[in-house]
Amino acid sequence: MSTLSVTHLRCETFENPLGLGEAQPHLSWVLESETRGQKQTAYRVLAASTRSGLLAGQGDLWDSGRVDSAQSTQVAYSGCALSSRQRAWWQVSVWDKDGQPSSSAPAWFELGLLARADWQAGWIGAGLVGGQQAYSPAPYLRRAFQLPGAVAQARLYITALGLFEPYLNGQRVGSDRLAPGWTNYEKRVSVFTYDVTTLLQSGENLLGAILGDGWYCGHVGWRGRQYYGDRPRLLAQLEVTLADGSRQIVTSDAQWQWSAGPILSSDIQMGESYDARLELPGWHTPGGGGGGWQPVLPFADPGIQLEPNRGPAVRSQEELQPLGAPRRMSDFPNPRWVYDMGQNMVGHVRLKVSGPAGATVRLRFAEVLKPDGSLYLDNLRDARATDYFTLKGGGEEIYEPRFTFHGFRYVELRGLPTEPQPGAVTGIVVHSEIPPAGNFECSDPLLNQLQHNIQWGQKGNFVDIPTDCPQRNERLGWTGDAQVFIRTALFNRDVTAFFNRWQTTLADEQGENGEIPSFAPALDGASHDGGPAWADAVLVCPWTLYLTNADSRLLAEHYASFERYLTYLVKTSPGFIRCHPDTLASTASVVGADLNSTTGMFGGYGDWLSINAETPKDLIGTAFLAYSARIMSRIAAVLGKTADVEKYAALYEQVRLAFQQRFVTAQGLVAGLSQTSYVMALHFDLLPEPLRPVAVQELVRNIQNRGMHLSTGFVGAPYLLHVLSRFGQFDTAYALLLQKSWPSWLYPVTQGATTIWERWDGWTHDKGFQDPGMNSFNHYAYGSVGDWLYGVVTGLEVDPTQPGYAHSIVRPQPGGGLTYARAEHHSLRGTISSAWELQGGKLTLRVHIPANSTATVYVPANSAAAVRELGGGVGATYLRMENNAAVYALESGAYTFEAV
Ligand code: BGC
């Protein structure tokens, strides 16, 4: 019997995905074992068209045969060609280090509609249409149909331009919210697939859907309504296989009807208005819903890509109860009641209320309160973020809005018919289905709260796309924010599918000249240059994903887009200086370049929201040009494009030289003299080797001169601690991490923050609230420090030469007076963890390395003799002493080291 068990079978990143768009998907499995050094020496994948066939050992779709290989992730399905709708059952057998076999339980994946020709449905909608300022009710659409016999299997393929909520015979189909999410609707829309077999019956059936305005025709960013179209549209195809094998297809077509219903208006930013008196009882059941239904309007096929959804769906994820009873704010004769949810959250409220028909309850939402205890709404800008619920009377009524979300900690109810009853308000937390993948904890409660705030910032801003903020009239997929945070995001949760999908959106928004915009989906016509550190997300995000999952397909898929982007950068960077338009002419004359093809370029946002520190935009731009060139060279290496490896490595060198000539003095001062200037120069290896110590010294001096405070903005902050720790300045790094006074990571924590603030000084004792024009209390960007907690404090990192956690680096750096720290991460290969504890001068380090992978661990110690491995050292090979650490090569398994 093998001690190796095969678990967590994944197809792409999903367990048993339905409606997949990839016909040759990648398969991965996790290997678990308590035995050190346990590994896979061979595997065999069987795939069958039926479960029983698979269990009988017949791989009619694919039998890989025994493959002598350790590969347990990203194994490409290589069996018979699969077509739309096809389901494959699969199972994997592995042989361990001693040649002992073990097998997994069966899993499956099922393809969606892969080709345009699979679709018979047409786009339909209602006669209701709003305007730039006017809202219209959410249309209810439905169609009755007969089935002549019992149902064997049924699938609903459905999408909308707008948002949809499907129903079959009175039942809600699935539990997805805000579907189909936000893509560039002029190019593509995601299609969702549901197994509806058990919802159908022989005889009369009814398929329905409620449509919301969503991003398609509701408010987006600051751009107002109807950006893509005037009203929502539905596309649906229900495919039924009857028990006798015959097939029936019901599509969105002229036989559908529409009616207005109780949702008077719905808008992501503005909120939803619902009048329960207008409900259409039984509208989604055969024969129900009353009269007044009208034939739907057909809409022309927009000719966009109908793409099986490759990202995770958005769903309600958890519920929060308010802290105690609400506070009564007297507003005679109409009191307002303010609830504290105890957490700045994103989603909506479930309201439970009773009262007379026609009474209207208004729900308002805010992240923070004013000193008098009322809602602070100024920072929502033009987002009204207000829901209205009008009662129908006759007992307890429960209301949850469908097509909106709010970012809030406080909820104000006004118009309640009676004093609020217990249970009147429940917070429903809504975000994309991004499974938890890690946590960090240590002996400092404030750092633990910081980690909590990072996690909640991530939940609240991973609502279909990575947004800057969830509350004001913005909520856009800002590229800069996403690229600084992605590494942290990957430690906390499995966001691979989420970012895979967004990469397509980035590519869809790429401009004609190769430029990448500030946010994606983009607004306002032609895509523009998002500028340094923003546009570079196009490379940073997929590269970061690759390091953690070793899946090169995303890199290959978008390689042409990367090349176009770099071509654009080189063209618009005279003498390899990616400069701001204001300094273009002077730069060009100094470096002797011409000014061709620089139209439309954008110097960028600089070190956005830095504190009393100016970093030249040209310097940031040039540093990021170097960074992008270097990433590109590495991507080329992964894809085996040898000539490009050289080409982009050479580009990196040219930019590096240009950077030195323009921004670095012979004595090692870096232009701007700011923390971010030094961080850029050091992090991207842009200085000549001998000048590095000087630059490190200057950086530390700058921090000291500010009383051990940072001054970095969005661009410098993510790397600041990494640079300090890389160059041995641990005390300074920890001092910044643990700094409680403003500006610092912990200052908001000391002020009771439960999410990451947009600005270091969102609120301060002396100045109060920052500019309401831009002051979000839920912005994940400064949460980018999270990867230093995982990656340095507990020392969990991937080895870039063996990505996807095939080989990990565990290099903890105790410090800052912490007495313990621990982190774990559930990687594609299983759980990797590092936990250290300091007690009476003894350091204990516990690490876990998943089966079938290896690690290099650095045990902090003064000498090799001071270190002991408690399990007898099996699987651990001492290598050397390095920088006050005893370095060991580890096989998989659990280890405990002690160092005295
Ligand atoms: C957003 C950002 C973004 C920035 C660009 C702001 O309005 O909220 O987070 O990166 O603009 O400067």
Q: Which residue has the higher pLDDT, 586 or 752?
A: 752
Give 483 Cα–ligand 1 centroid separation in angstroms: 13
Give 476 Cα–ligand 1 centroid separation in angstroms: 9
Does the pLDDT of residue 124 top 60, yes or no? yes
Give 468 Cα–ligand 1 centroid separation in angstroms: 7
Query: How many whole angstroms separate alpha carbon 810 and alpha carbon 895?
Result: 12
Task: Indicate the top mutation candidate among 380, 465, 605, 779 to test ligand 1's pocket, ranked by most ligand atoms within 8 A of CB.
Answer: 605
Does the pLDDT of residue 527 top 70, yes or no? no
pLDDT at 528: 86
Which atom of ligand 1 is least distant from the CA of 534?
10
Check if the beta carbon of residue 491 is closer than 8 Å to that of residue 437: yes
Does the pLDDT of residue 597 top 60, yes or no? no
Residue type, 502: W
Q: What is the mean pLDDT of residues 597-605?
A: 71
Chain centroid to Cα 621, Å, comes to: 25
Query: How many whole angstroms separate alpha carbon 43 and alpha carbon 103?
Result: 9
Give 778 Cα–ligand 1 centroid separation in angstroms: 12
pLDDT band at 435 (very low <50, low <70, confident <90, very high): very high
Does the pLDDT of residue 214 top 60, yes or no? yes
Give 753 Cα–ligand 1 centroid separation in angstroms: 20
pLDDT at 332: 73
Q: What is the mean pLDDT of residues 347-367?
A: 98
Does the pLDDT of residue 148 top 70, yes or no? yes
Does the pLDDT of residue 594 top 60, yes or no? no
Task: Indicate the top mutation candidate among 222, 607, 608 to test ligand 1's pocket, ranked by most ligand atoms within 8 A of CB.
Answer: 608
Check if the beta carbon of residue 251 is closer than 8 Å to that of residue 120: yes
Q: Which residues, 6 or more positions from 323, have their beta carbon under 8 angstroms from its beta carbon?
A: 340, 341, 342
> Is residue 758 among the annotated active site residues?
yes
> Is residue 689 among the annotated active site residues?
no
Does the pLDDT of residue 599 top 80, yes or no? no
Check if the beta carbon of residue 584 is closer than 8 Å to that of residue 613: no
Output the CA angle 95-101-107, nearest 5 degrees: 90
pLDDT at 334: 84
User: Among 758, 824, 869, 891, which one carries the catalytic annotation?
Assistant: 758
- pLDDT tens-place string over residues 34-55: 999 999 999 999 999 999 999 9
Q: What is the mean pLDDT of residues 187-192?
A: 98
Nearest protein CA to atom 11 of ligand 1, as residue: 478
Query: How many whole angstroms separate alpha carbon 859 and alpha carbon 877?
Result: 12
Nearest protein CA to atom 7 of ligand 1, as residue: 774
Query: How many whole angstroms separate alpha carbon 273 and alpha carbon 262?
Result: 8
Does the pLDDT of residue 525 top 70, yes or no? no
Token pair recorded at residue 796: 């969990």
- pLDDT tens-place string over residues 462-521: 999 999 999 999 999 999 999 999 999 999 999 999 999 999 999 999 999 999 999 999
What long-range pairs does 171-178 form, CB within 8 A, spacing at least 24? 171/199, 171/284, 173/199, 174/313, 175/315, 175/316, 176/313, 176/314, 176/315, 177/313, 177/314, 177/315, 177/316, 177/402, 177/430, 178/214, 178/268, 178/314, 178/403, 178/405, 178/430, 178/463, 178/464
Nearest protein CA to atom 9 of ligand 1, as residue: 468
Does the pLDDT of residue 526 top 60, yes or no? no
pLDDT band at 598 (very low <50, low <70, confident <90, very high): low
Does the pLDDT of residue 30 top 90, yes or no? yes
Q: Considering the chain, what is the average pLDDT of its residues? A: 96
**C-alpha closest to that of 453 among 819, 816, 747, 773:** 747
Q: What is the mean pLDDT of residues 818-847?
A: 97
pLDDT at 592: 61
Residues in contact with ligand 1 (CB, 6 Å cut-off)? 468-469, 474, 478, 480-481, 605, 608, 774, 779, 781
Percent of the chain residues topping a pLDDT of 70: 98
Does the pLDDT of residue 596 top 70, yes or no? no
User: Among 165, 239, 367, 474, which one carries the catalytic annotation?
Assistant: 474
pLDDT at 82: 98
pLDDT band at 331 (very low <50, low <70, confident <90, very high): confident
